[in-house]
Amino acid sequence: MSTAEQLFEEFKWIKKIFEARNQDKSTDFHLLAEDNLLPEISNTSYQSIFKETNEEDPYQRLLLALSLAATACPAIIDIFKNPSNDFALYLSPEGFALPTNETFLRMATGENYQHRISIQQAYTSSSNPMVSNHWLRLAEVDIKATESPLFKPLEPTSKLLKMLDLQNDSQEQQSMENEQEKFPAKLITTKLEWSDIVFNSKTSEKLNEAVSYHYHKDTLAQEMGFGKHMKKGIRIIFHGPSGTGKTLTATALGKKLGKPVYRVDVPNIVSKYIGETNKNLEQLFAMAEGKDWILFFDEGDALLGKRSSQQSDHKSSHYANQEIAYLLQRIEDFDGIIIIATNLKQNMDSAFMRRFELSIPFELPDYENRQKLWETYWPSRLQKSDDLDLTQIVKANKLSAASIINVLKRISLKCILSKNMIVHKELLESCIDEERYK
C-alpha cells in the first residue's frame, strides 16, 4: 500500500470517529474504535513510525493522523469546524484552522473528564514516543496568556514528513532556514581535517575514545548488555585553558562524524528574568531534537556553575538551581551529541559532571607538540635567518596552538609589508611578546 493510500484510510477512520464522538460525548474511546475498526497498516514507512509504540493503539493513531491533517488532507479539518469551535482548533492569523492537543483530547475523551487526566498525561507529554522520537510536536505560535499549551497546534516534524515522502527538497530547505533564523546557535565549520590538528597523547586518546563510543554505542547497548544503563545521545566535556583548541576540535569532530556543529550563544540563552532561561533552553532543544546535530556550548560554566547551597536566602539562587536542574534533564534527554567547553572545570557542578560519558582535557602543548605546531604552520614562503634557532624559541615559549598561529600570522604580515621573507630572531621574539602581552 502506498503512503497516500494509507493516509486516505487513516483520515477516513478519523471521520467515522468524529461522527461517533459528535453523537456520543461519554462513550469510552476504545468502544468507539471497536465499532469503527482501525485500518490495517500496510505501508512500511507508516509502520516504522510505530516501532516503539503499539500500532493498534487508537490514541496514537488519532494523534498522529491529526498532526498530519493540515499537510496531507486539509479538507478533513473542515469536519471539526463549527461556530463555537467545540473541538478547539487553532485559528491562525492567516485564517487556517489546525488541530491541537485539545482537539485530540476532546475526540479521545469526550466529556469523561476523569479519563481525560490519564490520557492527557500519557499522550500529550514529552514522554510519549511520538514526541520523544520526534515524529510530532507542538508548533511555536502565540496563544492567549490564559490558554494552556494544549491549544497550540499539532504539527509533524521534518523527520516525519521525510519518512512519508510528504516534503520536497525546497520545502525542507525552507523549513530549515526558518528554524535556523530562530535558533539561538550558529553553524560553525573548519577547513582543517582531523589529521591536521595536533593533540597531546592524553587528549588524543580521549578523543579517539569519543569517536569509538559514537560508532559502537549500539553494540554496547545491544550486544554487551548496557542498553538499560545508556541514555540517548552522547555528552562530552572539553576542559582546559583558552586557546587550546576546544572549539576547533568540536568542528573537526563534527566533520569527522559527518554531523553539523552548532555553537550555542550562551549569553543569549541566559536571562536575568525568572523563567526566561528555561524557555530559551526549551526552544533550543526542541529545534535541535531529531536533527543529528552536535550542540557545542562554549563557556558552559556560565550555564552550569555550582548550585547555591540550600541555606541561601536569595530567591535568585533558588531559580538558578532550578535552571541547572532543568538543563541537566534536557541534556540527558537530547538524542544528539552535546559538547560543553569550559576553561574552569572546577566551577562545574558535580551532579552535572556525573551525567557526562566523557571528560576530555585540553592542555597547553608540551615541547614536542609545540615543535610540531611551529613546523606544521610555518609558511613555506618564510625563510629562517642564520641567527634564528627555532628549537630554542620553542623551548623558551610555552604558547598555545592558537597563540602560535597568531604569532605566525603577525610575522607573515610584517614580512609582506617589508617585502622581506627572511625571519630574524628579533622579529620572531617581538611578535611573541606582542602576542603574550596583547
With cut-offs at 50, 70 and 90, classify the pLDDT of residue 36: confident
pLDDT higher than 70, residue 322:
no
DSSP letter assigned to residue 77: G
pTM of the model: 0.58
The whole-angstrom separation of Cα 376 and Cα 370 is: 10
How confident is residue 272, by pLDDT bands cut at 50, 70 and 90? Answer: low
> What's the mean pLDDT in 70-94?
87
Mean pLDDT within 363-377 = 91
Q: Which of the pair, 171 or 225, is modelled with greater confidence?
A: 225
Model confidence at 312, pLDDT cuts 50, 70, 90, reads very low
pLDDT at 177: 47
Q: Is 312 helix (H, G, I), strand (E, B) or coil?
A: coil
- Relative to beta strand 358-361, strand 136-138 is unpaired
- Please say if the pLDDT value at position 422 is more than 90: yes
78-87, 102-111, 127-136, 262-271 — which is least confidently predicted?
262-271
DSSP lists the bridge partners of residue 239 as 342, 361
300 has a pLDDT exceeding 80: no
pLDDT at 222: 81
Structure confidence at residue 411 as a pLDDT band (50, 70, 90): very high
Kindly state the average pLDDT of the residues 21-43.
85
Q: Please state, in angstroms and rounded to a whole number, the distance separating the CA atoms of residues 71 and 162.
A: 12
Alpha-carbon distance of 100 to 120, in angstroms, equals 12
pLDDT at 176 over 60: no
Give the model's pLDDT for residue 306.
Answer: 53
Give the pLDDT score at 435: 92
Residue-averaged pLDDT of the chain: 83
Sign of CA dihedral 275, 279, 280, 281: positive
* Band (51; pLDDT cuts 50, 70, 90): confident
Answer whether 262's CB lies under 8 Å from 284's CB. Answer: no
- Higher per-residue confidence, 19 vs 282: 19
Structural domains of the chain, with CATH: 3-163 (no CATH), 183-361 (3.40.50.300), 367-436 (1.10.8.60)
Q: What is the pLDDT of residues 228-264, one digit of tens each?
A: 777 888 999 999 888 888 999 999 999 998 889 999 8
pLDDT at 4: 87
pLDDT of residue 274: 55
Q: Is 299 left (phi over 0), alpha (psi -120 to 50) or beta?
A: left
When pLDDT is cut at 50, 70 and 90, the band that residue 172 belongs to is very low
Please spell the DSSP secondary structure of 37-68, one letter per residue. PPPP---HHHHHTTTTS-TT-HHHHHHHHHHH
Whole-number Å distance between alpha carbons of 311 and 329:
24
Arithmetic mean of pLDDT, 405-421: 94
pLDDT of 305 reads 57
Check whether 419 has a pLDDT greater than 60. Answer: yes
In the predicted model, what is the mean pLDDT of residues 23-28? 86
Instruction: Give the mean pLDDT of 379-385.
Output: 93
pLDDT over 50 at 331, yes or no: yes
Span 196-222, average pLDDT: 87
- Give the highest mean pLDDT range of 56-60, 90-94, 270-274, 312-316: 56-60
pLDDT at residue 15 tops 80: yes
